[in-house]
Amino acid sequence: MTLYEHDVIVVGAGGAGLRAAIAANEEGADVALVTKLHPVRSHTGAAEGGINAALRDGDSWEDHAYDTMKGSDYLGDAPAVETLCQDSPEETIQLEHWGMAFSREDDGRVSQRPFGGLSFPRTTYAGAETGHHLLHTMYEQVVKRGIQVYDEQYVMDLAVTDHEDPEDRVCQGCIGYDIKTGQLNGFIANNGVVIATGGPGQMYAHTTNAVAQTGDGQAMAYRAGVPLQDMEFVQFHPTTLPSTGVLISEGVRGEGGILYNSNGERFMFEYGYANNDGELASRDVVARAEVTEVNEGRGYENDAVHLDMRHLGEERITDRLENIIHLATDFEGVDPLEEPMPVKPGQHYAMGGIETDENGETCIDGLYAAGECACVSVHGANRLGGNALPELIVFGARAGRHAASEDGADAQIETGSSARTETADVDVPTELGRVETGSEDAVADGGELHSGSPKEVVNRALERQQERVETLMETDGINHADVRSDLQETMTENVNVFRNEAGLKQALKDIRACRERYQEVGVSDPSRTFNTDLMHTIETRNLIDQAEVLTLGALARTEFRGAHWRQSHQERKDEEWLKHTMVAWNDGAPELYYTDVILEGESKEYEPKVRSY
Amino acid sequence: MSTHVSESESEAQAGTDQQTTDRPAAQQRRLEKKRARNEQRDQASDSTETDGQTVHLKVFRYDPEVKDKQEPRFDDFHVPSKKGMTVLDGLIYSRDHYDSSLTFRHSCRQAICGSDALFINGSQRLGCQTQIDDLDQPVRVEPLPHQEVVKDLVVDMEHFYDQMDTVEPYFQEEDLPSGLEEQRQDRENREKIKMSTRCIWCGACMSSCNIAAGGNYLGPAAINKAYRFVMDEREGEDLKQQRLETIEEEQGVWRCQTQFSCTNVCPKDIPLTEHIQELKREAVKSNLKFW
């Protein structure tokens, strides 16, 4: 066991983590990145489409904000959305100044293209591999600044003080498991911890997310007392390859790609799903249209529809979408220059996450979050394509900056249970939360709180995690992979694009069964060297917590908004549901409550309108 | 089928743990259950071998800490065959169903994170990008050659990362336009550096290069990274000169013997050998005294 001490600890080194570290470094803080992968392995590298930024004459941040509020189905918070749209141009040009290889126009300026749900072609991109370029460009800047990176160091828990009310708690650091050596390390953060661990896509069997996307940061923050917000809003991307879940960028439709059903019909228009924008409607609209086509017998085998880009011509495809040719060929065995690609919706993005304000701060002092793991909230009920990468850089930078220095503007978004406006009562079919076994054999689940000086708090957390690891290593039990696949199966079956009450209740029961079985997991690899068995076992616990929160929120929300479709509730109910779902881990039991959506922006109020494309 | 560490080994490991726990009775029960379960699992994995519809993987195993695995060996896994199955799919199946101690790096499974470069049937490839159908069986899966093996298929990448750092892999232009004004870059210039920017740091090229093996040669990936900046018109002439000086030092471009092994294995089709040759030409043009 070793104790490390830094001003700011950033957990996760994808787009948001790297940007947070650079920002904290620029504020003069001693910052360290702690990440379970090497930074260039982060999933930001798989993002394809682009970065929305109002850069050109005829466009404005106000228009970007309007499109984003509409896309969110009026569940975004205006102060957060406006911050995103105001900061994005500067952050995007910052990347250009750091040498990012954006695609270019004839005059040498960065190119922009149309994307779904946007009223102006404002998506800046680098081929169909924008995330790869963004990730590498920012990692280069981290190397340039000599920022300390602890790679292949899996953060298992946060070290948080044990005050009863989460809003009185302080985050003093975190605990890392050195994957290479099996050693546990304590990280003391003098100023703050920024969680930037990405989404929890591994809850689902069919996802565009990397295997490492297990939402560790969300689960840790949740158990430390930060509510998870709007987790029921899960984005299913309309174009993923059926056999693997590999993403086919919205850029394909942005450049003019067309969706067909098995009758050869351009169904987005012919069946009236989106009479104005067709394939470029918002993602939730297109995903539902595809599943409906398949359900009504107009799909191709594997539950797919066809995405055709051949008419764009080889030159244009090679110039702007070359990566798509490789992906379709390598992972689906289809040459998209010769034939259409089969596609279907796949889990892609978590709109919800760790509740933060627009400075990235949570209700726990010294604990910040940014990127997909956070919910500020800019995406509300549905994220527009091209809005994830600006979120990473805008809120990554803000979180890093604020963690490094106490200065900065006060946030307009209130966090924690004091922002609560309503307590919820929902009929659940099973017990939720911690399993009370009363047995000393029960597998330790982490997430304890501690008191004392920062060093004592970190040390106590360290001991607790050490004990947890020893128990998992000694226990012989079932393989975590069995539990994980059961969880993925029920989420895919019951908490997908289309949802109904019976299915959601079944999912809660299945998740409970997974949680109970988890009490019997054990790590059969006895080695301290690169024990991925141990790491995956801990990740699986995190997935269970998040799946439960998500499904609980989905069961409670009896309306149809954005990505959340409910069979018996086929309309958006603004009177009743213009509010954020919060689930907090209250002494081991999930507590559900609501806070108000903020529709009032800097100079205007965003009035909910019918969303048509 | 898969093999597991012996019971005595698990026990020895647990023995050292005992100092850190004060619950010996509970620990004893856990250990007993663990032994029983290991036996069960061994039997279960053996029984699946009878099915003819399987893919045969021969996987390299080594763990410095586990007695049975200290001597490197190959384990055989027979995985149910599936259309479109990749080598990575086969490894994941083997790990999740037969032996959870089987260790390899992987994440995105779409050829962009670069973490699962392996030596598959004698060639450096990404596990996720390689269809099993395209390979002769049994499929032999080994860690990347010329790098120290940490455990099973995991190699130490530190040397690779260090070599990347040597070329100062970051944009250094300081004379930037102000505010929201971007630097202009010609489409042609972007096209020129495009392939070089596709590197995913997988290490396949370094592993395939017998000049890089065991030496300090910068290697194809680091030189390609230098190429990415040397050829980027936005950095300007002074920096270009400075970068050329780095890559033409003793361990730089002149060590390349144009064997094309790096180019042949690159999963992103980067013309690495050509980039190295171009830098040799640039170095000659800019610094004639070398000749």
- Map tokens 């990740």 to a residue: A539
CA A231 – CA A565 distance, rounded (Å): 14
Residues 6+ apart with CB under 8 A from A213: A43, A198, A199, A200, A201, A202, A207
The reply to whether residue B101 touches residue A143, judged by beta carbons under 8 angstroms, is no
The reply to whether residue A129 touches residue B108, judged by beta carbons under 8 angstroms, is no
* B24 sits in which H/E element: helix B24-47
Q: Domain segments of chain A: what residues?
A: 2-234+348-414, 235-347
The reply to whether residue B114 touches residue A41, judged by beta carbons under 8 angstroms, is yes
Of B190, B185, B177, B172, nearest to B242 by C-alpha is B172
* A342 sits in which H/E element: strand A341-350
pLDDT at B52: 52
A40, A153, A185, B139, B240 from A35: Cα distances, Å:
11, 5, 13, 32, 33
Residues 6+ apart with CB under 8 A from A313: none
Interface with A, mutate which of B61, B87, B112 (most A CBs under 10 A): B112
- Residue pair A365/A170 in contact (Cβ under 8 Å)? The answer is yes
CA A355 – CA A218 distance, rounded (Å): 10
A108: nearest CB among B129, B169, B184? B184
Common-topology check for domains A2-234+348-414 and A235-347? no
Question: Residue A37: its chain B contacts at CB < 8 A?
Answer: 107, 113, 115
Of A480, A502, A478, nearest to A490 by C-alpha is A502
CA A346 – CA A571 distance, rounded (Å): 24
Q: How many interface pairs between A and B have CB atoms less than 8 angstroms apart? A: 213
Question: Which DSSP category does A226 fall into?
Answer: P
**Concatenated DSSP letters of A435-455:** -----TTSPP-----B-SSHH
Of B176, B267, B287, nearest to B220 by C-alpha is B267
The reply to whether residue A90 touches residue B157, judged by beta carbons under 8 angstroms, is no
The reply to whether residue B190 touches residue A477, judged by beta carbons under 8 angstroms, is no
The alpha carbon of residue B291 is apart from the nearest alpha carbon of chain A, in Å, by: 33
Question: Residue B235: its chain A contacts at CB < 8 A?
Answer: 99
What residue ranges of chain B have pLDDT lower than 70?
1-52, 287-291
Pairing, β A123-124 against β A112-113:
antiparallel
* A346 sits in which H/E element: strand A341-350
3-class secondary structure, B63 = coil
Averaged over A114-132, what is the pLDDT? 95
Residue bearing the bigger pLDDT, A148 or A444: A148
The number of beta carbons lying within 10 Å of the beta carbon of residue B46 is 13
B110: nearest CB among A327, A467, A522? A327
pLDDT at A440: 42
- pLDDT, mean over chain A: 95
B33: nearest CB among A143, A466, A476? A476
The reply to whether residue A132 touches residue B112, judged by beta carbons under 8 angstroms, is yes
Interface with B, mutate which of A102, A134, A140 (most B CBs under 10 A): A140
pLDDT at A452: 81
A528: nearest CB among B65, B115, B183? B65
Range in A30-44, A198-212, B168-182 the model is least confident about: B168-182
**Concatenated DSSP letters of A293-330:** HHHTT-SBGGGBEEEE-GGG-HHHHHHHHHHHHHHHHH
Interface with A, mutate which of B32, B170, B200, B235 (most A CBs under 10 A): B170
Catalytic residue list contains A283 = yes
| Closest Cα in chain A to B179 | A90
3-class secondary structure, B155 = strand
CA A166 – CA A591 distance, rounded (Å): 13
* A9 sits in which H/E element: strand A2-11
How is chain A split among helix, strand and coil, in percent rounded to 5?
40, 20, 40
B115: nearest CB among A37, A109, A467? A37
The reply to whether residue B111 touches residue A326, judged by beta carbons under 8 angstroms, is yes
Question: Residue A333: its chain B contacts at CB < 8 A?
Answer: 84
- Residue pair A542/A216 in contact (Cβ under 8 Å)? The answer is yes
| Joined tokens for residue A595 | 């806070």
Interface with B, mutate which of A35, A36, A40 (most B CBs under 10 A): A40
According to CATH, what is the number of the domain A235-347?
3.90.700.10
The number of beta carbons lying within 10 Å of the beta carbon of residue A329 is 15
CA A421 – CA A579 distance, rounded (Å): 9
Averaged over A525-534, what is the pLDDT? 97
pLDDT at A48: 92
Q: Is A393 a residue whose pLDDT tops 60?
A: yes
CA A361 – CA A254 distance, rounded (Å): 35
Q: How confident is the model at residue A605 (pLDDT cuts 50, 70, 90)?
A: very high
Q: Where are the beta strands (DSSP E) in A196-340?
A: 228-229, 234-240, 258-260, 305-308
Question: A363: buried, middle or exposed (CB in 10 Å: 19+, 13-18, 0-12)?
Answer: buried
Q: Is A586 a residue whose pLDDT tops 50?
A: yes
Q: Is A509 a residue whose pLDDT tops 70?
A: yes
Question: Residue A132: its chain B contacts at CB < 8 A?
Answer: 112, 198, 200
B150: nearest CB among A466, A525, A530? A530
> Which is the catalytic residue, given A122, A283, A288, A401?
A283
CA A79 – CA A68 distance, rounded (Å): 12
Is the bond preceding A377 in cis, omega lying within 30 degrees of 0? Answer: yes
**Concatenated DSSP letters of A477-517:** -B-HHHHHHHHHHHHHHHSSSEE-HHHHHHHHHHHHHHHHH
Question: Residue B182: its chain A contacts at CB < 8 A?
Answer: 93, 96-97, 109-110
3-class secondary structure, A357 = coil
pLDDT at B30: 58
What percent of chain A is modeled with pLDDT above 70?
Answer: 97
Of A4, A418, A393, nearest to A189 by C-alpha is A4
Residues 6+ apart with CB under 8 A from B153: B59, B60, B91, B103, B104, B105, B118, B141, B142, B143
Residue bearing the bigger pLDDT, B14 or A20: A20
According to CATH, what is the number of the domain A2-234+348-414?
3.50.50.60
A187 forms bridges with which residues in the sheet? A4, A174
CA A553 – CA A324 distance, rounded (Å): 35
The reply to whether residue B187 touches residue A106, judged by beta carbons under 8 angstroms, is yes
Question: Residue B37: its chain A contacts at CB < 8 A?
Answer: 476-477, 522, 524
pLDDT at B250: 84
Q: Which one-letter amino acid corresponds to residue A274? A: A
Q: How confident is the model at residue A554 (pLDDT cuts 50, 70, 90)?
A: very high
Tens digits of residue pLDDT in A227-245: 999 999 999 999 999 989 9
pLDDT at B202: 98
What percent of chain A is modeled with pLDDT above 90?
Answer: 92
CA A171 – CA A161 distance, rounded (Å): 7
- Residue pair A231/A581 in contact (Cβ under 8 Å)? The answer is yes
CA A260 – CA A293 distance, rounded (Å): 10
pLDDT at B174: 80
The reply to whether residue B180 touches residue A89, judged by beta carbons under 8 angstroms, is yes
The alpha carbon of residue B218 is apart from the nearest alpha carbon of chain A, in Å, by: 18
The reply to whether residue B27 touches residue A474, judged by beta carbons under 8 angstroms, is yes
